[in-house]
């Protein structure tokens, strides 16, 4: 399956989308550089500002217009507004933040533990070259840090994202 990945927001969102890329690749799927070539797209959304929320909705609409047959919406804006996310074009599934770690495994009917055995991929992510890569050394460490990082990042900007 050809998969297009896009993300809006902080370095943690970027790191998560890179982890998803690694997982899709480990399961034998291809990450493509443009939504035109994709059978499936995943968009990791952000709600830290109104602009970030608008960018998130815009990314989903742009990918739908490009022809991606199926879009999965996840991330902070999606978690705050799941009904709105569901109503966007080509969105077939909404994954809230508390299930995001399992998104790829659930989609592919695999056990998440399988991915923990894979080495971290350093391959570039097609279509996202211009963005800063976050090098977080393990999924376990990332999960431990997730709450702190999100709270710290967003309160620094005076936002009220849906942290747990």
CB of 45 to ligand SF4, least distance (A): 7
Q: What's the rounded Cα separation, in Å, for the pair 136 and 155?
A: 22
CB of 36 to ligand SF4, least distance (A): 26
Reduced to 3 states, what is the DSSP secondary structure of residue 43? strand
Alpha helices in the chain (DSSP H): 11-26, 50-66, 76-80, 82-87, 103-108, 113-116, 139-156
CB of 6 to ligand SF4, least distance (A): 13
In this complex, which beta carbon is closest to ligand SF4, that of residue 9 or of residue 35? 9
Q: Does 76 bind ligand SF4 (CB under 6 A)?
A: yes
Q: What's the rounded Cα separation, in Å, for the pair 148 and 141?
A: 12
Taking CB atoms within 8 Å and a gap of at least 24, the contacts of 83-88 are: 84/57, 85/45, 85/60, 88/57, 88/60, 88/61, 88/64
- Write out the binding residues for ligand SF4, residues 27-56 only, by CB under 6 A: 46-48, 52
Q: Does 94 bind ligand SF4 (CB under 6 A)?
A: no
Q: Does 19 bind ligand SF4 (CB under 6 A)?
A: no
Q: Does 10 bind ligand SF4 (CB under 6 A)?
A: yes
CB of 136 to ligand SF4, least distance (A): 14
In this complex, which beta carbon is closest to ligand SF4, that of residue 27 or of residue 142? 142
- Write out the binding residues for ligand SF4, residues 122-141 only, by CB under 6 A: none
Q: Does 13 bind ligand SF4 (CB under 6 A)?
A: yes
Query: What is the number of the residue whose Cβ is closest to ligand SF4?
Result: 9
71 Cβ contact list (under 8 Å, min separation 6): 40, 41, 42, 43, 60, 63, 64, 88, 89, 90, 91, 92
Enter the DSSP assignment of 46: -
Which positions lie near ligand SF4, rule CB under 6 A?
9-10, 12-13, 46-48, 52, 75-76, 150, 153-154, 161
């Amino acid at each position: 399956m050809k998969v297009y990945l896009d993300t809006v927001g902080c370095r943690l969102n970027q790191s998560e989308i890179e982890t998803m890329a690694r997982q899709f690749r480990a399961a034998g799927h291809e990450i493509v550089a443009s939504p035109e070539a994709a059978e499936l797209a995943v968009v990791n959304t952000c709600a830290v500002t109104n602009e970030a929320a608008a960018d998130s909705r815009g990314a989903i609409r742009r990918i739908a217009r490009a022809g991606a047959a199926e879009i999965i919406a996840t991330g902070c804006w999606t978690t705050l507004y799941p009904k709105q996310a569901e109503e966007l074009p080509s969105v077939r599934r909404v994954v809230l933040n508390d299930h995001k770690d399992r998104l790829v495994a659930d989609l592919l009917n695999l056990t998440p533990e399988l991915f923990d055995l894979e080495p971290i991929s350093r391959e570039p992510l097609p279509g996202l070259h211009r963005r800063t890569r976050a090098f977080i050394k393990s999924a376990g460490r990332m999960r431990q840090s997730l709450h702190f990082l999100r709270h710290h990042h967003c309160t620094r900007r005076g936002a009220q994202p849906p942290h747990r």
